[in-house]
Amino acid sequence: MPLFKRGVNGGGSPGPKKVAPPVVAEPAPELAKPRLVFHCQQAQGSPTGLISGFSNVKELYAKIAECYEFSPSEILFCTLNTHKVDMTKLLGGQIGLEDFIFAHRKGRPKEIEITKTEDSLGLTITDNGAGYAFIKRIKEGSIIDKIDYIQVGDHLEKIDNDSVVGRRHFEVAKMLKEIPSAPLSLCGSSNHTSWLW
């Protein structure tokens, strides 16, 4: 029994088998991702900038700083759709396509000494995700509420000469809570002024 069938042409070897050439799939053209562009201003006033190409808070701050030619470390926080210091409009995890971003920058530094006479100062602290903790809320009637020039949005830089820059809000809140009832020095800043506590 022969290994090969006789070819159609009558020869002893099979004729060439007609095989369609392999189909090489052409790479699908990459679908261009739509470039998301957001409008931005500095909260204290500026021309409108167009910001794109960021995927987290630090990158957003870098893009805003690049647009307005200042250091990203000057940004305390961003609000959406208002230039006012409104903690209900604080930029969080998501930005809508129609949202307008307002960057709140550090102001002049300020320092204050407070005598802690109660367990709590009456502050709610949050942070911007890029190393700055700031005051989100002040409890009515609290020690801090009685000090007019400490405001919501103020950034905390130091507590008794210990830097809190780079710490998360819960670490700063814990430090404030653990301070015994005694005078304490606070340093920082706000978009109005900076505070050193």
Asked if 86 and 169 count as a contact pair (C-beta separation under 8 A), the reply is no
CATH assignment, 110-196: 2.30.42.10
Report the alpha-carbon distance of residue 136 to residue 123 in Å, rounded. Answer: 8
Fold of 38-105: Ubiquitin-like (UB roll) (3.10.20)
Tell me the pLDDT tens digit for each residue of 99-146. 999 999 988 788 888 888 888 888 888 888 888 888 889 999 988 888
* pTM, full prediction: 0.70
Of 185, 193, 94, 81, the closest CA to residue 135 belongs to 193
| 60, containing H or E segment | helix 57-68
Half-sphere exposure for 190 (CA within 13 Å, toward CB): 16
Which residues belong to CATH 2.30.42.10 in the chain?
110-196
Tell me the pLDDT tens digit for each residue of 175-193. 888 877 766 666 666 654 4
Q: Quick one: pLDDT at residue 159?
A: 83
State the CB neighbour count (10 A cutoff) for residue 139.
Answer: 13
Which residues belong to CATH 3.10.20 in the chain?
38-105
Report the alpha-carbon distance of residue 91 to residue 78 in Å, rounded. Answer: 5
